[in-house]
Amino acid sequence: MRSKFKMLAIRLMLLAVGMLAMSGAALAQFGVSVSFGPPELPVYEQPICPGDGYIWTPGYWAYGNESDGYYWVPGTWVEAPQIGYLWTPGYWGWGGNAFLFHEGYWGTEVGFYGGVSYGFGYFGHGYDGGRWDNGHFAYNRSYSNVNVTINRNVYNTTVVDARTVNRVSFNGGAGGITVRATAQEEAAGNQRHIGPVAAQTAHVEAARANPELRANENHGKPPIAATAKPGAFKESGAVAAKEGGAVHEAPAARAENTDRPSNATARPSPAVHAKDLPPAEHMAAPNTGNAKTDQKYQQQQQKLQAQQVKERQTLQTKQEQDHARLPQKPANEPKQQQLEQQHTQQTTQLAAKHTQQQQQLQQRQQPAAHANPPKQGKG
Q: How far apart are CA 6 and CA 13, in angstroms?
A: 11
Q: How far apart are CA 374 and CA 1, in angstroms?
A: 26
DSSP, res 125:
S
Residue 75's nearest CA partner among 93, 57, 100, 54 is 57
In angstroms, how far is the first alpha carbon of the chain from the final one?
25
Give the pLDDT confidence score for residue 136 in this predicted structure: 92
Check: CB of residue 20 under 8 Å from CB of residue 201: no
Give the pLDDT confidence score for residue 328 in this predicted structure: 60
Give the pLDDT confidence score for residue 40 in this predicted structure: 95
Give me the DSSP letters along 291-303: HHHHHHHHHHHHH
Element (H, E) at 75: strand 75-79
10-20: b (≥16 Cβ within 10 Å) or e: bbbbbbbbbbe
Give the pLDDT confidence score for residue 271 in this predicted structure: 65
Give the pLDDT confidence score for residue 204 in this predicted structure: 93
Give the pLDDT confidence score for residue 305 in this predicted structure: 86
Give the pLDDT confidence score for residue 22 in this predicted structure: 34
Mean pLDDT (10-residue bins), the chain, 379 residues: 49 42 35 84 96 96 88 96 95 89 93 95 95 94 92 86 72 91 90 89 93 95 96 92 86 42 40 71 73 88 87 87 72 67 74 74 63 41
Give the pLDDT confidence score for residue 15 in this predicted structure: 42
Give the pLDDT confidence score for residue 339 in this predicted structure: 78
Q: Give the global pTM.
A: 0.62
Check: CB of residue 126 under 8 Å from CB of residue 116: no
